Chain A
Amino acid sequence: MGERRVLLAPLDPVHDVGLKMVKRALDEAGHATILLPPDLPVEEIVRRAVEHQVDTVLVGRTLGYNVPEELARLVDVMEATGLRSRVRLGVGGMAVRPELAAELGFDRGFGPGTTPAEAVAFVEGRDYQPPAPGEGGRKPDLTAGYSYRVHDPGIARTLETIAAGTVAWARERTTPGVERARIRRQLLAADPGSGAELRQEYLTHCDPRIQAFYREGVPAGRTRPLRREEILALESAAGARRLEPLRLRHRRSRPAVFVQYGTGCPLMDIAHNRVGEGWGADGLVHFDPSWSARCEGLMEGYHTHEEDGSLLTLENLSAVGAARQPWTLWQVRAHRGLNTPETVVLAAAAGADLTKVNMVYGSLGAGTDPGRLLVDGVECLALAAEFGLPLDVVTNEELCGVPAAKAFAGMLIVAAIAVHLGARPLLQPLFCLSPDVMVNGQMDDNFLDYNAAKVHALRAIMDAPIWPGAPIGFLTHTEDRVQSAVTTALHAALASSLDVDAITIASTDEAYSGGAIAAASRVDTLRATAEAFRFFGSAGMAPTGRAREWAGELVEAIGRILEAVLARGTLEVALYQGLLGGPGDGAYPGRAGRGTVSRR
């Protein structure tokens, strides 16, 4: 790369800091720069360009009254003077957009968020390669480097005993969900057109409304199949051009930031996900409809509806997954309901990167029978291990009122079962103003201490990745979008300060919309989070000494709860008897799928 001669012309009478930053970058890159004083007439700028025989002229100007006229005049005089055939022209400023630069005749426009490196690339006549999201454009492995060692030998023995016992217990049993997952795998492997017998067998394990779908073509749950043009649009979305996302994190490489989607329509999902990805999200979390979780069996094909959550079918999932950016992590949840093993099968087939499993939450806080979900969940974890899908163990039972210690004991048991089966779990404590905390006052003063205590406690027990969620700031949001974005951003900053591996954030519409989520509300929290990351950089938040005290108390309580679970004989019994959250905590064993567990 030869030395380039660059004229830097601040048209703005006051603001020339942008050009000074560009000058520094150009000087460091070995180019010759001439920085003119601000506010020179157009003719003088062109005269200097002639005299200095420059290759490039970079103009900086905040747009204001008569400024477009001046910029256009500069370009026209450059053209009339014969310089445009050999001198490249760039303009930068807060109001500059590529379209405006094109209208004014510049070769390039540098708007807000432009880095000096982009200007250097322009001067050197090469395409600017922004720092790739993820790890150099690849997906980060959120579980890399973690041993899953349990530090306290006593807790380690307890967890391993519970895990081994639960796996042995579950392996003696089966459910319609486990059977459907087995058949679905066979169907996926079968030749197209074959598999009629398998499908008949599949239907014997389904609810009547799913049977009606396959036998009579009646879509379940107010859904409708996508039309041909909608399917074509889905396919073309997969080939859409690569995004150049905004940068979310500042200096730190963690946490990865996930956003949630589930509009009901895969096309809309793709549009929402593009917004999230464009504003720097690292990961996407698929939300399926809650009615489907209580229905035995899944449909096939492309389907849409206007309910909550997007239907789990291989076609829907594959379309949404294929439209994501190459570096985007994608999670399909299998943590509750009657279709969890089959969901993991579909997630793997569609190319998902992560799944979500927690039988304790799913049965105490999400309506599925504990015995049923234990059998299904163990199968999920085994499948996740086989497919190499890391999974988070979410603890949303805290939202019911279950104290963190009980929720964490359940999470650690599920994580231990996952590790026992060879899967790689991520611990997902809630960063939330939970009912338990509201009653007992741990957040009366601040939101830092108790959330930090949760992370400290989990780290004190197990060497595992931590992914606060889901979303962070749960129950601190209101319908006020500014408030909602700020609280999300502050919780994100706390997560970053604690150096956790990932977080999930909500849009500002999510807590209170009661319906559609506007794309702009996604931008709200992503921008707010980026701003918080920029504000703190590699500096940190400082919880008070209470954080460590509460962490110690949590560790002790978790140890006691685990011992009690072990003493109860089986995890199923412990769940029914409320050791990991009972009616007094607002947790009730679910009923969906009760009586569907059978001995193998």
Chain B
Amino acid sequence: MKLAVGVAGTAKNTGKTTVLRVLLAEAAAAGIPVGLTSIGYDGEDLDHVTGLPKPRIAVPRGTWVATAQTALRPELEVAESTAVETAVGRVALARAVRPGRAVLAGPATAGGLTEVIARLHRRGARLVLVDGAFGRLAPMTAADGLIIATGAARHREPKLLAREAGAIATLFRLPRWPGDGHPRLRVSGPGGERVLPYPALLDPAWADELAAEAAAVGAREIHLPGSVSREALGRLGSQLDGPLKLVFSHPLHLLAPGEPLAVAEALAALAGRGFELGVERGLSLLAFTINPRYPVRAGGAYQWRAGDGGRLLAAVRQAAGVPVSDVVAEGPAVVWAEVQRLLGRQ
């Protein structure tokens, strides 16, 4: 009945805030109580990374907002403070006493986001919308669903954009094998279970140790929590033989190094050699949204240009395997339907 949906962007200016505004408006029209937070900082007039003007986040009356106390605006009335800290101060829960605008500075970590979502749900928000942050996805593991905004600002070439979207979607389709969430590299097989002291596969040397342990126990299953570096994963794969289960912790952890194409290719190579791949946990990838506009620097200032929206949409639709929409050109129906479907399923 209650859920949290994250809205992330593959790059700046892919339309994340626009999608958030659309979802806020749809939820208000449908009478669904909404909570709003961010894993970064959003809603300011100018982007803190690029300096470009940003769309403002309009909040309908009654919206619950979790943001840093220093970012509170007059239309937000504080109901409770939390112990969740951000770089601009402690997060508070506030309610819009009149329609207004929000500046969001929310929890930067999955742990913080989990707590904030729970508090917003307790306050009556049925749908919590989580605004993403520049270059980060991992805290969104606390959400139930994810919408990814992408577009010409990420790649202007439709084929490349589509390949990347397809690679990202592949990771969300990995089968889920719920496990115990053990936070260390671990192998198990007829020879027993061995646990290494490493929380992720970040170093080729750790991959060597893991491969040696796998060989020692005749491993049938290898648990790879946390992030994996492409280099270390390749090193591990080169020393293993199938059939073998590789259990990752979460699709978003696989995306943390920021190279979705490379990660997907590495996983495909492993699958091609007979390895079974899965994740302990996951979340629903609800949709991609496409923004065909992109900024270019001209004469010392940024200007917006428009890519071929039709080609971008068609290409990504073909590759993604989930709904894809341009919410500005097509309206919110496609994306909102996915959120409603998830709400109903919950």
Contacts and interface: CB of A to CB of B under 8 A. Distances in A.
Nearest to A109: B87
B41 interface: yes
A187 interface: no
Given A72-B133, A100-B48, 16 more contacts: A43-B203, A43-B229, A43-B257, A46-B202, A47-B202, A50-B200, A68-B134, A76-B135, A79-B139, A80-B227, A80-B252, A82-B200, A84-B108, A84-B109, A102-B86, A104-B133
A476 to B, nearest CB: 36
A71 B48 CA distance: 14
7 contacts: A50-B200, A69-B135, A76-B137, A81-B199, A81-B226, A84-B111, A102-B68
Nearest to A108: B87
A80 B41 CA distance: 20
Interface string B199-211: 1101100100000
Interface string A35-61: 000000011101100100000000000
Contact of A102 (B41, B203, B250): B41
Nearest to A41: B229
Interface of A: 42-44, 46-47, 50, 68-69, 71-73, 75-77, 79-85, 97-109
List 9 tightest A-B contacts by C-beta distance, closest first: A72-B135, A79-B138, A101-B87, A80-B256, A80-B227, A80-B253, A105-B108, A102-B41, A103-B41
Contact of A75 (B86, B88, B136, B253): B136
Interface in B106-162: 108-111, 133-139
Contacts of B60: none
Q: How large is the interface on B (under 10, 10 to 19, 20 to 34, 35 or more residues)?
A: 35 or more
Contacts of A104: 40, 133-136
A81 B41 CA distance: 23
A69 B87 contact: no
A81 B87 contact: no
Contact of B44 (A47, A80, A99): A99
A107 B203 contact: no
Contacts, number: 133
A106 B68 CA distance: 14
B135 A79 contact: no
B198 interface: yes
Given A79-B138, A81-B227, A102-B87, A73 B257 contact: yes
A202 to B, nearest CB: 40
Contacts of A99: 41, 44, 48, 87-88, 105
B338 interface: no
A43 to B, nearest CB: 5
B107 to A, nearest CB: 9
A102 B226 contact: no
Interface in B180-228: 183, 198-200, 202-203, 206, 225-227
A550 to B, nearest CB: 53
Interface in B21-40: 39-40
A103 B134 contact: yes
Interface centre among B109, B226, B256 (most CB of A within 10 A): B256
A107 B105 contact: no
Nearest to A42: B257
A75 B200 contact: no
Interface string B251-271: 011001110000000000000
B1 interface: no
Contact of B108 (A44, A80, A102): A102
A77 B257 contact: yes
Contacts of B206: 47
Interface string B220-254: 00000111010110000000000000000110110
A102 B49 contact: no
Given A84-B109, A84-B111, A102-B88, A68 B200 contact: no
B132 to A, nearest CB: 10
Contacts of B88: 98-99, 101-102
Nearest to B206: A47
